Structure 1
Amino acid sequence: MTEPTRTLTGGHPPPEHARVVIVGGGFAGLETARHLAEAGVDDILVVEGGPVGDLVHTNVAHDPDTAVEMWLDPERDPYHRRPWSSDSDRHFAGNAGIRARLGGRSLYWYGVTLPIDSWALDEQHWPAAVADDLTRSWRGGPSLYERVAGDLGLTWADGTIASTGQAQRVGGFTLRPTPRASRAHPGRPGRWSAYSPLDHWRDPATGAVGEPPAGVRFLLDSPVQRVLLRDGRAAGIVVDDRRTGRPATVTAETVVLCAGTVENSRLAIQALTTATGAPPRLGGLADHLAQGFFVRIDARRTPRPLPVRPGSYYLPVPEARSILFLSLWRVSRDELMLDVKINGELPPDPESQVACLPSAGHPWPTTVRSTVSTAGRAVVAAQQEVLADVWAAVAGAFGLAGEPAFGSYDEPRLGNTAVLPRYREQYPIGVPQPWCSALGAEDHEGGTLPLGGVLTENHEFARIAGLYAGGPATFPRIGAANPSLTTMALSRRLAAVLADELLAEAPGAGHRSERS
């Protein structure tokens, strides 16, 4: 058996066996691994298809404008991969994809930490036991949201995650400061990082690596071809061994898929079709409908004091199944930039799906199909009414004229790349520029492996024992909120479920899983 290694470097051969294999070294995979290790489970192998790369957040490694470019322009990011084809015009194309590096999307996000909206997290959509654990109480103590918020230095009040700061009123809208799990760089003004599970064993400012959790080791630069099945049960994985150019098998007692929604779906389809004869597709793919407007403002002609303080603010808009965000910042002494955005849920639709073409080899070719359904178009229309009202309030407060002309969501005049610094300067000052994102472009996709459906309430595949999944793919409804807070909360829950099972199997083993 290969000697386990806990270093964060590549080039090591795959081990022959691990007790738990976690596929994906991003947000969900690393959060699950660290909580599982803290509960006392050892021999955990995190398998990441990309390299270590640098371990600092993009907003530490780059100036703010370049960091935005790294997210929105895939040609600027060497870690961007899109291991699927899109059958949906502009949707799930462009900058949609995965970030194949240890840390994954946790090294790109902006730290927005909002819980799933109450209208999406009801018993008609989410299993009641899971919803209660998230919002009411988990294992006799505070809820999962409360625990994660406390870990991140945020507060939990009236069932919502709160951030310190003063609310802002714009017309009839009262917006609160957006809660963000982020910290300023101690030595570089203007640089900052959002929370990453890597923070527990690397310096977020320098990227210097400390001691990873005991019991956790890493296999990097090793894309996973398929889940190994034995007698209808998950028995390990097959990876690309780039040292030899041949597939290599790693056996395991438990396999956890945390590779991102589309990659999780591909691995699940391959396993389900092989083990049960299920059709090679998974429906219910959902994402956020995101649109908004931005406007350059002549700072020399704005009221004193400013009608809105610089910063980021938000407001839930349940009647539009959305959350409104407003950000104001100073570009220069003479110019301000106002960016107004609204995120809403594309309701689950069986016609929005991930499909695979069964083949002799692995991975199976994968195609994503996603369209804006009739229910989704109702959300788009409601969002545009909200944005029009916000613009009227903003225009009155800042003394601006004109109005944003929203077009078709499928063929917009401007996509979200319009906010890139190299493009913003070409737009006239004082004129609102409406834009909308393609589906998949916000990195918020989920819904193909829902808890209480494809998965049991305990995160295990209902038709394949020993196979589990984490991340937004497991959300029965994604709601309008950014998925990171819920991903962290469910990763803690998944780790506790696995710890209960794995430690119970070891005679005389101590049980340190979190209970209060």
Structure 2
Amino acid sequence: MGIYRTLADQLKASGIQDTTFSIDAIGNRICSSWETVNAANESQRFDVVVVGAGMFGAYCAEKLFRRDTSKKLKILVLDAGAFFLPTHVNNLPLGGMPDGVVWARPWTGEAPFVTDGNKRALAFCIGGRSLFWAGWSPELMPDDLARWPADIRRFLASAEGYDYTATEIGSNQTTDFIAKTDTYKKLDKALRAAAKKKISDVAQIDLVGEAPLAVMGSRPTPGIFPFDQYSSATFLIDAISQDLRESKDQPRDRHLMLLPRAEVIGLKRDDKQAVTSVDLEVRGDAKTLRLGPNTTVILANGTVEATRLALAHLDIGRQASGRPKVGNFMTHMGNSTIVRIRRSALGLGKPNQSENEVAAFIARGKAYGRRFHYQIVAASLREDVKQQTPWDFVMRLTPDIDQLDKLMSGHDPQWISVVFRGIAEMEDDRSLGAADAWRNSISLEQGGDRAYVKLSPSPNDNLLWNALDDVAIGLAKQLAGSPKNIQYRVNNDWQATQPTEPDHSDIGTIYHEGGTLFMGKVKESITDTNGKFHHLPNVYVAGPAVFPTLGSANPSLTGLTLARRTGDAILVARGIKPPKPRRRPPAA
């Protein structure tokens, strides 16, 4: 008998799925079947059920498991998607992933938010968008947080707030893998000088710094390896693996289980408003997960989908046109300006063909009383590849020296290309008054419970959006010093004249939705500052849906930090004291 048959028999005996091309060892180990989950739940009800295993749900579940000092909580994570990748796509030696495999838009609504541009609205897989995000993780500035609850502002500024999360995901490390290059040093000096000059009549840059990238570029402590680019899937996989070891693979002794391909269709409540059961479709089949009297539910399946469940099943929202509706729906407005600047204008000599000439910065500013920021990435590109941009050179695994040499060869001897990716917040609207007055909102589709979304920029939003364009062009011109030293990228080619039309991202394509289930005081908000619905005893929200205002920064760092706070609040409510953060040695 050949080795194939021997190994196939071993796989069959172990219960691991063997596909035509691969062995699904990781998915088989960390995921559980409905039969196993239901049997464990019938033996002893789960204490916490997390809906959604994406950026915030997987992280919150992992924190509940790790920080449960009682070692008694039973946690179940549900996700509508399958297990797809074990880590961030940039940590894998892959040239790209096929579209249409995990991405989908399960809601309907009005343009401009619902357009062909944002078909890839949600990643239905374990880890969700955290497997694909760019990794920029800036903190919200004090101006961004001005209208947030005071206790949240204090928490974010404490040792348990931003600092803890940023240390964990790597975004507060110095970017030595970029900052040690001559390209970075010269651009850093030039950007700081440019930011001090008048760039626009309505806006100004007030901070330039290292890019806060969620990539562990060096060890956080001696004795372990860097973690690479952050994804929540990695954390969840490791926590479930620990649970399997400690439980000796016995389902009745498990404390953290993951059920994939399980879409939450409905939530049932009792007369005290507690959720008592969860209606699911598991691989398309209807199932019901019964909850115990002390079970806590966390909605972490994205702003739109969490809001849909709240509208359809949790008595959230005001009636408008015969259907429940909530306002304060926001996302980020974005633009992209790509230029190339003569190396000589930046003080750079001929390209170093043995060095990957890349630099990344964050630049923050203010216009019309509101914040914005730029993700600035620069790189020396190859002369013979027109479709390349500096984004192609940041935080991607390069598996061997041959590929590295190819990447760094043929650097353009005259130009450095620079991308200014601007991000600014939309206006909030936290009025709990007449629903018909809300400009941006989420409701239910007429006659059903699919989400119906409405989101468009206001006149004030458009002013801020236009300021993003002005400041990016102004910064680029200041860096160049002279029109002869700058060219602009238009339609995949370079031209000497400034583009007449700004390159604005379609609304919704930055995937930073939030705000609809915003936190605050009773009668002034939907949830409290722990993310719990005011009127429900056992349902919480994790993710940017609870943000009162969106702020100008990517929501990931803030959302992760608040998800851990929500997990700790659930532990404390159960009489469990989570550990305090410890002082850590500086990174090696």
1:149 to 145, 158, 166: 166
In structure 2, the CA distance between the partners of 1:464 and 1:6, relative to structure 1 (3 Å rule), is farther
Shift of 1:351: 1.5
1:53-92 to 2 correspondences below 5 Å = 53-61=84-92, 67=96, 76-89=99-112, 91=114
Q: Does 1:169 align with 2:202?
A: no
Measure the CA separation in 2 of the matches of 1:298 and 1:77: 40
Structure 1 unmatched runs, 5+: 156-160, 187-191, 405-413, 415-423, 505-510
Shift of 1:197: 2.8
Shift of 1:377: 1.5
1:98 to 99, 102, 122: 122
Shift of 1:512: 3.9
Structure 2 unmatched runs, 5+: 1-26, 180-184, 196-206, 220-226, 245-253, 352-356, 383-409, 430-437, 582-588
Residue number in structure 2 paired with 1:380: 465
Shift of 1:93: 4.6
Measure the CA separation in 1 of the matches of 2:100 and 2:514: 23
In structure 2, the CA distance between the partners of 1:471 and 1:6, relative to structure 1 (3 Å rule), is farther
Give the secondary-structure state (helix, strand or coil) at the position aligned to 1:133.
Answer: helix
Residue number in structure 1 paired with 2:47: 19
Of 394-403 and 444-453, more deviation after overlay is shown by 394-403
In structure 2, the CA distance between the partners of 1:260 and 1:446, relative to structure 1 (3 Å rule), is same
Give the secondary-structure state (helix, strand or coil) at the position aligned to 1:121.
Answer: coil
2:381 to 303, 327, 331: 331
Decide whether the 8 Å contact of 2:299 with 2:540 is kept in 1. yes
Question: 1:381-418: per-residue Cα shift (whole Å, max 9, x none)?
Answer: 322221231131133279435679xxxxxxxxx9xxxx
Residue number in structure 2 paired with 1:444: 512
Residue number in structure 2 paired with 1:266: 308
Give the secondary-structure state (helix, strand or coil) at the position aligned to 1:116.
Answer: coil
Measure the CA separation in 2 of the matches of 1:9 and 1:478: 34
Residue number in structure 2 paired with 1:371: 456
Question: 1:29-53: per-residue Cα shift (whole Å, max 9, x none)?
Answer: 1111111112325210000100001
Q: Does 1:348 align with 2:428?
A: yes
Measure the CA separation in 1 of the matches of 2:145 and 2:105: 30
Question: 1:75-132: per-residue Cα shift (whole Å, max 9, x none)?
Answer: 724100100013123556523411000011111112212111211212xx21111111
In structure 2, the CA distance between the partners of 1:276 and 1:283, relative to structure 1 (3 Å rule), is closer
- Provide the identity percentage: 23
In structure 2, the CA distance between the partners of 1:209 and 1:24, relative to structure 1 (3 Å rule), is closer
Give the secondary-structure state (helix, strand or coil) at the position aligned to 1:51.
Answer: coil
Measure the CA separation in 2 of the matches of 1:431 and 1:297: 13
Measure the CA separation in 2 of the matches of 1:228 and 1:306: 67
Residue number in structure 2 paired with 1:317: 365
Give the secondary-structure state (helix, strand or coil) at the position aligned to 1:52.
Answer: coil
Residue number in structure 2 paired with 1:47: 78
Measure the CA separation in 2 of the matches of 1:445 and 1:387: 24
Decide whether the 8 Å contact of 1:175 with 1:313 is kept in 2. yes
Decide whether the 8 Å contact of 2:318 with 2:326 is kept in 1. no
Amino acid at match of 1:468: Y
Question: 1:137-193: per-residue Cα shift (whole Å, max 9, x none)?
Answer: 3xxxx24112112323454xxxxx87564544335226322011214699xxxxx95
Residue number in structure 1 paired with 2:142: 118
Give the secondary-structure state (helix, strand or coil) at the position aligned to 1:371.
Answer: coil
In structure 2, the CA distance between the partners of 1:387 and 1:276, relative to structure 1 (3 Å rule), is closer
Shift of 1:306: 8.1
Measure the CA separation in 2 of the matches of 1:134 and 1:491: 12
Decide whether the 8 Å contact of 1:109 with 1:194 is kept in 2. no
In structure 2, the CA distance between the partners of 1:6 and 1:33, relative to structure 1 (3 Å rule), is farther
2:31 to 9, 17, 39: 9
Shift of 1:367: 1.4
Q: Does 1:246 align with 2:286?
A: yes
Measure the CA separation in 2 of the matches of 1:34 and 1:276: 34
In structure 2, the CA distance between the partners of 1:78 and 1:148, relative to structure 1 (3 Å rule), is same
Amino acid at match of 1:314: I
Measure the CA separation in 2 of the matches of 1:306 and 1:86: 52
Decide whether the 8 Å contact of 1:459 with 1:469 is kept in 2. yes
2:556 to 484, 494, 512: 484
Give the secondary-structure state (helix, strand or coil) at the position aligned to 1:46.
Answer: strand
1:184-223 to 2 correspondences below 5 Å = 193-200=228-235, 202=237, 210-211=241-242, 215-223=255-263
In structure 2, the CA distance between the partners of 1:357 and 1:247, relative to structure 1 (3 Å rule), is farther
In structure 2, the CA distance between the partners of 1:402 and 1:331, relative to structure 1 (3 Å rule), is closer
Residue number in structure 2 paired with 1:394: 479
Measure the CA separation in 1 of the matches of 2:167 and 2:359: 23
Residue number in structure 1 paired with 2:213: 180
Measure the CA separation in 1 of the matches of 2:218 and 2:132: 15
Decide whether the 8 Å contact of 1:112 with 1:178 is kept in 2. yes
RMSD: 3.4
Decide whether the 8 Å contact of 1:322 with 1:342 is kept in 2. yes
Measure the CA separation in 2 of the matches of 1:428 and 1:467: 53
In structure 2, the CA distance between the partners of 1:272 and 1:487, relative to structure 1 (3 Å rule), is same
- TM-score, normalised with respect to structure 2: 0.70
Shift of 1:355: 1.1
Q: Does 1:513 align with 2:578?
A: yes
Residue number in structure 1 paired with 2:333: 289
Q: Does 1:454 align with 2:526?
A: yes
Question: 1:399-452: per-residue Cα shift (whole Å, max 9, x none)?
Answer: 435679xxxxxxxxx9xxxxxxxxx6x423656664111121111111111111
Shift of 1:301: 10
Measure the CA separation in 1 of the matches of 2:459 and 2:109: 21
Give the secondary-structure state (helix, strand or coil) at the position aligned to 1:385.
Answer: helix
Shift of 1:330: 2.8
Shift of 1:233: 1.8
In structure 2, the CA distance between the partners of 1:19 and 1:377, relative to structure 1 (3 Å rule), is same
- TM-score, normalised with respect to structure 1: 0.79
Amino acid at match of 1:263: E
Amino acid at match of 2:151: A
In structure 2, the CA distance between the partners of 1:277 and 1:499, relative to structure 1 (3 Å rule), is farther
Give the secondary-structure state (helix, strand or coil) at the position aligned to 2:266.
Answer: strand
Amino acid at match of 2:442: V
Decide whether the 8 Å contact of 1:86 with 1:93 is kept in 2. no
Amino acid at match of 1:46: V
Is the helix fraction higher in 1 or 2? 2
Decide whether the 8 Å contact of 1:224 with 1:239 is kept in 2. yes
Decide whether the 8 Å contact of 1:228 with 1:235 is kept in 2. yes
In structure 2, the CA distance between the partners of 1:427 and 1:437, relative to structure 1 (3 Å rule), is same
Decide whether the 8 Å contact of 2:87 with 2:233 is kept in 1. no
Amino acid at match of 2:563: S
